[in-house]
Homo-oligomer: A and B are copies of this chain.
Amino acid sequence: MAYRQTDRVKEKLESKKKEIIRAAREVFAEQSYQGTSIKALAQKAKIATGTFYLYFSNKEALINMIVDEMFHELLDHIKKERAKFTDNYDKLQASMEACLNIFMREKTMAKILLVQVPGVNNAFNAKLIEIENELIKLTKGDLDELKSRGMLPEEDTLVCAMAFVGSFRQVIINWLREGKPENLAEACDTLMAYNLRGLGKQK
């Protein structure tokens, strides 16, 4: 009987991969992608440098997987939260709150997505953009629907969606970088109100 990958073996492998990713997230949140060597990474993950290559074909594959993972963590969570509501204004609010919550909970993710990684490598920069655009698309969907129901004035919904997302992004990034505003949850309310007014929501 030949060697067979039992579930347990598979699981073990998978868990080691997870561990490496976990360590990598931590490191990348502190240092830039380019500034982090595989050796340093391996040390953090408590493996040998060679071992890294048993789990990832190269450095880029790792960051790709990390960003991919974050992509799903983030959007799945957002979609799940949105699904709880039917009103599009509520959906909008739920989206942003979900976003903030996940970033507050997982600061490493926030740092990687918003601070460290951008501008490093055109290849996966694309993936970051994808996340941003996906969020804009969701937002635009809401706006389009509200507009079609006459609940919003006649404005370019793409631009509005960008403004909406961009305003949140800016506040989160400043919070990450400089700790201001101190109370992110409160700022979220202010932002929400700002954007709803901006959209021209009828009271």
Contacts and interface: CB of A to CB of B under 8 A. Distances in A.
A121 B125 CA distance: 16
Interface residues of A, number: 49
Contacts of A180: 158
Contacts of A119: 32-33, 115-120
Interface in A156-203: 156, 158-160, 162-171, 173-174, 177-178, 180-181, 186-187, 190-191, 193-195, 197-200
Nearest to A129: B177
A150 interface: no
A156 B181 contact: yes
Given A165-B170, A166-B167, A197-B197, 18 more contacts: A31-B122, A32-B119, A33-B119, A34-B34, A35-B121, A115-B118, A117-B119, A118-B119, A129-B177, A133-B178, A156-B181, A158-B180, A162-B171, A163-B168, A163-B195, A167-B198, A169-B170, A195-B198
A167 to B, nearest CB: 4
State the main secondary structure of chain A at its contact with B: helix
A90 interface: no
Number of identical monomers bound together in the oligomeric complex: 4
A35 B125 CA distance: 13
A155 interface: yes
